[in-house]
Amino acid sequence: MIVILGGGPAGRIASIRLASAGKDVQLIEAGGIGGQCLHFGCMPVCALNDIARFLHSSRIFHNLRIVDTIPEISFSAIFSEMNAIQEKIASVLDTETRSAGVKIIYGKIGRLEGKTVFIGDEPMDAEAVIAATGSRPNIPDIEGIDLDGVYTPHTLPGMKKLPKKLAIIGGGVMAAEFAYIFDMFGSEVTIFSRSTFLKNTDRHLRSLAIKELEGVEICENACVRSISGSSRIQSVCVKTDEKDISIDVDATLVAAGLIPRSEMLKGVKKGSIGEVVVDCQMQTSVAGVYACGDVTGPPYLTPVARYQGVIAADAILKKPRTMDMRYIPQSINLAHELAFCTVETEGAGSIVIPGPAGPGTFWSVPQGDTGLAKVLFDSDNGALRGFCTAGPGGGLIAGYMAFLMKRHFSVHDFDEFVEVHPSTDGIYGLLKYTSDILKKRSGN
Ligand SMILES: Cc1cc2nc3c(=O)[nH]c(=O)nc-3n(C[C@H](O)[C@H](O)[C@H](O)COP(=O)(O)OP(=O)(O)OC[C@H]3O[C@@H](n4cnc5c(N)ncnc54)[C@H](O)[C@@H]3O)c2cc1C
């Protein structure tokens, strides 16, 4: 028997792969199948962002006198309706997983002591174990963080009223995405970022993100020192470069990243943030124990978790393959999908252009917000080293582009590419243009 701890993207995909290969698989899930992605992460953000973009578009159409009113949201309906859909998706995932032959045990906590896996207090006789226990929100050690009115992505569905004033602690993708959502919903949002906001993001995408968050106050190098209130949050005290400030808020959202959930995994080697250390086949320091997904540390992305689940399963099936982490596309979902994948920026040439008018951007032409396309390339041979694409469908484009980069495509390979029109795929035209420039430069 193979025991898998955690039914999130990593554990579930591993379980299906192993059961489909004829293995006896027990999947232990303490909460809901689908993990953080379905219950607290990607799906809720996507659900809330759909509403935010709808409100955003309504405002654009209203300003152009095309629609009479901007709809009001009924905040209380959002989480209950969202939850019903999440349950529906969970039941599809449950059926799909069981149909593959996986036995699922819900509501039990699994743990490891070396090679021995326990379900509750009961040791199991397992031929191999996969730890896919995921991650949890990183909660900074701030006085008052436990006050009522302080939320994380996990507790957000408990928010009963739209806050008038919302403080967001964090300066990464998660903070940016929630800031856009609450800004569009009508809250007055302030981001407190301990360092530079979106500091690991390409500078053109970062500028675009800041433009799309123009209604949000972004305080950089701002360290939240304490959260005050008698029973409920009333204010946050922040140390900035210049001074200490206190601002009144109705709620705070802690969106300061994720940390591996590994405290129940004893005996395996871990790194400085508790991430389980694995080799390129997801094998831990204990023979027969594998780990995959967020529990192994960043980048904390569902496709990476799934991919690692497949690799762990294949290692158990003695069909080893290795994980290549170089070509991982990512996105930041604001008004547009700001998507990117960069492999090597050092010494690379780059060209950036505004996104074209098309579906989802036509009515944004007056505001000059049609997104952008950017390519990074080797000026000698045109090899693609990275790209950014921001616009509707940016995430879809990025997945394919990253795959082509992995296949070592150069900008010249796009000479024969025929795009769909109208669409917002500015990147393909830009690749052809870049190819022409490089050819002219080299006299070809
Ligand atoms: C707000 C937010 C937004 C996000 N947005 C995106 C996005 O846009 N794109 C993207 O790719 N990723 C996104 N992510 C990250 C994504 O959700 C994770 O990378 C992904 O869910 C990781 O999958 P996993 O299977 O490793 O872990 P998880 O999804 O965390 O699943 C782990 C599972 O293990 C269970 N578990 C934990 N401990 C035990 C135990 N001891 N016994 C039994 N079961 C246990 C948990 O209940 C959970 O179901 C987001 C995350 C958050 C929080």
pLDDT of residue 324: 85
- Measured from the Cα of 136, ligand 1's closest atom is 30
- pLDDT tens per residue across span 353-410: 999 999 999 999 998 999 999 999 999 999 999 999 999 999 999 999 999 999 999 9
In whole angstroms, give the CA distance from residue 15 to residue 53.
36
Rounded (10°) CA dihedral 120, 125, 126, 130? 10
pLDDT of residue 411: 97
Q: How many CB atoms lie within 10 A of CB 137?
A: 21
Mean pLDDT taken over the chain: 96
- Measured from the Cα of 40, ligand 1's closest atom is 53
Cis ω on the peptide bond leading into residue 422 (within 30° of 0)? yes
Residue 413 CA, distance from chain mean position: 30
- Measured from the Cα of 154, ligand 1's closest atom is 53
**Ligand 1 pocket residue status of 38, Cβ below 6 Å:** no
- pLDDT tens per residue across span 155-188: 999 999 999 999 999 999 999 999 999 999 999 9
Substitution site in 302, 338, 340 for ligand 1 pocket (most atoms within 8 Å of beta carbon): 302
Side-chain half-sphere exposure of 246, counting CA atoms within 13 A: 7
Between 42-63 and 173-185, two packed helices, what is the crossing angle to 10 degrees?
40
**DSSP for 366-388, written as a single string:** TTT---EEEEEE-TTT-BEEEEE
**Ligand 1 pocket residue status of 9, Cβ below 6 Å:** yes
**Ligand 1 pocket residue status of 307, Cβ below 6 Å:** no
**Ligand 1 pocket residue status of 167, Cβ below 6 Å:** no
- pLDDT tens per residue across span 212-255: 999 999 999 999 999 999 889 999 999 988 789 999 999 999 99
**Ligand 1 pocket residue status of 194, Cβ below 6 Å:** no
CA of 112 to the centre of ligand 1 (A): 19
Look at residue 341 and tell me whether its pLDDT is greater than 80: yes
CA of 36 to the centre of ligand 1 (A): 3
pLDDT of residue 413: 96
Q: Using 50, 70 and 90 to split pLDDT, how confident is the model at 132?
A: very high
